[in-house]
Amino acid sequence: MSVLVVGEALVDIVRRADGSIVEHPGGSPANVALTLGRLGRSPRLLTSFGDDERGAELRAWLQESHVDVVVAPSPRTSTAVATLDAAGAATYEFDLTWDLGDVDVEPADVLHIGSISAILDPGGRQVAELVERARPTTTITYDPNARPALMGDPAVAAERVARLVALADVVKVSDEDLAWFHPDREPLQAAQDWLALGPAIVVVTTGGSGAHYLTAAGAGHVTAPKVAVVDTVGAGDTFMGTLVDGLVGAGVAGDRAALGALGHDAWDAILSRAARAAAVTVSRSGANPPRSNELD
C-alpha cells in the first residue's frame, strides 16, 4: 500500500537552554515521512525547498530513510528556530515560504497532510484541493500541529482546520494545540466536536500522559512509556507516522469502511505502538524517530 505525505520540509535551528545552537533537518510532514520510511513504508513526500546547501541536506536526510522526495522549487530552504526551555519543550519562529506550483503526484492509498502547509497560502489552498481530489479512493490523515507564530488569529485558523478535519478519516492533535484552536473548550470536548464533523477517529496526545482517542463506538486511552526527555522535537510527528504505519499494517488504508470498523483492541495496539515510538524520539536529540528494529 502506498503513502503520500504533503507538506513542509525545513531546517530546525535549535537553541538549547544552555545557550548552544544546533541545526537539524525537520518540518512536521517531513518528520512523518521520515518515520514511515524508517518503518519500511517507502513513502513519497511532496514538499518544497531551495536548491541550496540546506536543501541538499534535507534531500539526503530523507532519502537515507527511504523517502521518495518530490520537490516544488523554492527560492530558499525554509527554517524554523526552535527555542528549548529547561524541560526540553520547544517554541518556534519561522522563515517559511510554501507554494507547490504545478507539481503533481500519483494518487496513493493514504494521503497525510498537516501543520503549516495545510494553512499557509498559496500552498495551503493547493493541499486542500489535492485532498478533495484524492478523498474518494484515499484514506486522509491530518495533524493540524498548531504554529501560532504563522497561523494568525486562532479563531480564523480553527475554521480552516475544521474544514480539513471534515475531509479527514484520521485526525491526531495534541491537547496543547486543541487549547490554542479552541481556548473556550476542554480539549476532549473540542475533539468530540471534531469527531462529529466526520473522521473515524480523533486522537488527542497528552505528552508523557499518553493519548486519548474518540470514535463513534466510544473513547479509549493508551499510556506512554516513562523515559528521560532530551527534547520533544518531532515527537508528535513520530506518533503520527507510526499511526499511519499502523493503518497500513492493519490493511485498512484506502478502505473507509474497514477503517470505520476497527475496534478498540485494534486502536489500542496501533496507538500504543505510536506512543512507544514517540517515547524513543523524546529520549534523543532532534527529530530522530526509531527504525522498525528499535520499535518492534
C-alpha distances in Å from residue 37, one per residue of 43, 88, 243, 249: 6, 26, 13, 14
In a domain, 296, yes or no: no
Per-residue confidence (pLDDT) for residue 82, from 0 to 100 = 79
The tens digit of pLDDT for each residue in 249-259 reads 999 999 999 99
Cβ-Cβ contacts under 8 Å for 131 (sequence gap 6 or more): 111, 113, 140, 164, 167, 168
* Bridge-based pairing state of the strands 211-215 and 201-205: antiparallel
What average pLDDT does range 206-229 have in this prediction? 95
In a domain, 219, yes or no: yes
Would you say the pTM of this structure is higher than 0.85?
Answer: yes
In a domain, 284, yes or no: yes
Cβ-Cβ contacts under 8 Å for 129 (sequence gap 6 or more): none
Per-residue confidence (pLDDT) for residue 89, from 0 to 100 = 75
Please report which confidence band the pLDDT of residue 102 belongs to, taking 50, 70 and 90 as the band edges. confident
Per-residue confidence (pLDDT) for residue 41, from 0 to 100 = 96
In a domain, 111, yes or no: yes
What average pLDDT does range 41-50 have in this prediction? 96
Domain count, the chain: 1
Per-residue confidence (pLDDT) for residue 17, from 0 to 100 = 83
CATH code at position 65: 3.40.1190.20
In a domain, 206, yes or no: yes
Per-residue confidence (pLDDT) for residue 267, from 0 to 100 = 98
What average pLDDT does range 191-219 have in this prediction? 97
User: What is the domain range of residue 56?
Assistant: 3-290
In a domain, 231, yes or no: yes
The tens digit of pLDDT for each residue in 262-284 reads 999 999 999 999 999 999 999 98
CB 4 within 8 A of CB 108: yes
On the question of a cis peptide bond just before residue 122, with omega within 30 degrees of 0, the verdict is yes
The tens digit of pLDDT for each residue in 151-191 reads 889 999 999 999 999 999 999 999 999 999 999 999 999 99
Per-residue confidence (pLDDT) for residue 168, from 0 to 100 = 98
In a domain, 295, yes or no: no
**Strand ranges (DSSP E) for the chain?**
3-6, 10-15, 21-26, 44-50, 68-74, 79-84, 90-95, 110-114, 139-143, 170-174, 201-205, 211-215, 218-222
In a domain, 103, yes or no: yes
Please report which confidence band the pLDDT of residue 92 belongs to, taking 50, 70 and 90 as the band edges. confident
Per-residue confidence (pLDDT) for residue 15, from 0 to 100 = 84
Per-residue confidence (pLDDT) for residue 296, from 0 to 100 = 83
What average pLDDT does range 70-92 have in this prediction? 85
